[in-house]
């Protein structure tokens, strides 16, 4: 095991310490920079945003419709329904598919809790699947293992921005007669075999939470699908159960209030014009991280040749993770952990944990997310990469325990 107390004793560390002693100011590296993205987009949306704000156009209207059309087209699907957040997108999709009490939905356990919580809130039971130790994504094999006679659907999570082997997963789902829902909250613009996230499943659920690759000035989400009746049911459920064309006080179902605000739609339309360039920049930054970290013995893992990774997060795996984070923070570098506790170990979901999930459980103690956002500079990546290399040198970590993804 690594000696986690021996950190930061390498040559680079000594050099930096000398620089800092000589009075060089250390610039902090944030985990993300939402203000930089807002600043870049604002000039192109200012006029429409203010017109909407001052014209009191707050709910629905042409701005929402036009963002929905743009987003569906971008994803390669026929319909998008704007909703209040990604969690609602998942719950509404399950309900609209008729999935509820007595049903089981396969979900990976290494995801944000919203994926599994949506299943419980829809009235069904999550059935946790393990993931590939290499990509940390669900595979056709781990999906097959998890399916039982009660399984009605799988929620495939495009974790960190990578779409898993969708050809294999769709094949298993078709054979077993279950629905496929993509949790694409982290995967705007990601691709598998040239097809975009959002175009594979019966439906795909997106989050526009501010820190996402396409983020709003608050919460937002969308359900994307090419099934007209499914899109219609989601829209009805999200709008107090009002069917298409019904008057304000006519309700077909007991629904809820989960709509994408008009102001958010205006901003998201503006940001969409930047998404491809921002994703490309994330890809370049990820390649640079790998290069800077390549001398450390870190093992690169898990980007399939068919995948275009959108790098919502850049995640490395390292033993002694918590000590490494402390040392990074001491050098002014923010980091994150996605996710320290897998869903099947979360207290409200433990009752659904029926077997060990070795790859998921092993990863949970090692995952470390490094700063990743389009406005991160090359110098900042070099600084983070060199700091990490330096810290690891001091830790004498067995390279077998370290993984870069």
Ligand X SMILES: Cc1ncc(COP(=O)(O)O)c(C=O)c1O
Q: Which is nearer to ligand X, 158 or 240 (CB)?
A: 158
> 373 or 383: whose CB is closer to ligand X?
373
Q: Tokens 């800077």 appear where? A: 292
Query: Could you give the C-alpha distances from 285 to 190, 202, 282, in angstroms and in order?
Result: 16, 33, 5
Compare residues 352 and 383 and give the one whose CB is closer to ligand X.
352
Angle at CA 13, nearest 5°, toward 11 and 14? 65
Taking the complex as a whole, how short is the minimal distance between the CB of residue 325 and ligand X, in angstroms? Answer: 20
Q: Which is nearer to ligand X, 49 or 209 (CB)?
A: 209
Shortest reach from residue 29's CB to ligand X, in Å: 22
Comparing every residue's Cβ against ligand X, the nearest one is: 86
- Give least dist CB 187 to ligand X, A: 9
Q: How far is the CB of 357 from ligand X (least distance, A)?
A: 17
Q: Give the closest residue to 143 by CA, choosing from 159, 157, 154, 158.
A: 154
Minimum CB–partner distance for residue 213 and ligand X (Å): 11
Question: Which residues of the chain form contacts with ligand X (CB under 6 A)?
Answer: 85-87, 111-112, 114-115, 157, 183, 185-186, 207, 209, 219, 221
Nearer to ligand X, 114 or 368 (CB): 114
Which CB sits closer to ligand X, 87 or 389?
87
Q: Which is nearer to ligand X, 201 or 221 (CB)?
A: 221
Least separation in angstroms between residue 252's CB and ligand X is: 25
Instruction: Give the nearest distance from C-beta 270 to ligand X in angstroms.
Output: 19
């Amino acid at each position: 095991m690594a000696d986690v107390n021996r950190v930061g004793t390498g040559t680079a560390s000594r050099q930096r310490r000398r620089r800092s002693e000589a009075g060089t100011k250390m610039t902090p590296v944030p985990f993300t920079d939402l203000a930089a993205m807002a600043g870049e987009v604002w000039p192109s949306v200012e006029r429409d945003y203010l017109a909407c704000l001052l014209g009191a156009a707050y709910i629905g209207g042409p701005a929402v419709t036009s963002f929905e059309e743009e987003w569906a087209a971008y994803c390669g699907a026929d319909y998008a329904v704007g909703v209040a957040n990604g969690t609602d997108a998942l719950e509404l999709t399950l309900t609209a598919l008729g999935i509820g009490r007595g049903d089981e939905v396969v979900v990976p356990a290494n995801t944000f809790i919203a994926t599994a919580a949506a299943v419980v809130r829809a009235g069904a039971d999550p059935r946790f699947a393990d993931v590939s130790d290499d990509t940390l994504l669900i595979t056709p094999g781990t999906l097959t293992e998890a399916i039982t006679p009660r399984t009605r659907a799988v929620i495939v999570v495009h974790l960190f921005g990578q779409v898993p082997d969708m050809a294999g997963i769709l094949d298993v789902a078709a054979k077993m007669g279950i629905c496929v829902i993509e949790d694409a909250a982290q995967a705007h613009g990601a691709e598998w075999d040239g097809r975009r996230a959002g175009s594979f499943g019966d439906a795909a659920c997106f989050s526009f939470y501010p820190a996402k690759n396409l983020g709003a000035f608050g919460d937002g989400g969308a359900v994307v699908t090419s099934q007209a009746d499914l899109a219609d049911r989601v829209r009805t459920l999200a709008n107090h159960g009002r069917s298409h064309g019904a008057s304000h006080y006519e309700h077909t179902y007991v629904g809820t209030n989960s709509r994408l605000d008009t102001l958010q739609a205006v901003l998201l339309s503006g940001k969409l014009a930047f998404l491809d360039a921002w994703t490309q920049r994330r890809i370049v930054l990820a390649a640079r991280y790998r290069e800077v970290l390549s001398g450390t013995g870190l093992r690169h893992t898990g980007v399939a040749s068919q995948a275009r990774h959108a790098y919502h997060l850049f995640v490395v795996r390292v033993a002694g993770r918590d000590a490494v984070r402390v040392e990074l923070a001491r050098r002014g570098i923010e980091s994150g952990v996605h996710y320290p506790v897998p869903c099947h170990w979360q207290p409200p979901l433990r009752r659904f944990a029926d077997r060990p999930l070795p790859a998921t459980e092993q990863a949970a103690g090692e995952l470390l997310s490094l700063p990743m956002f389009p406005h991160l500079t090359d110098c900042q990546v070099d600084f983070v990469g060199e700091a990490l290399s330096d810290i690891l040198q001091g830790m004498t970590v067995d390279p077998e325990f370290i993984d870069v993804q």
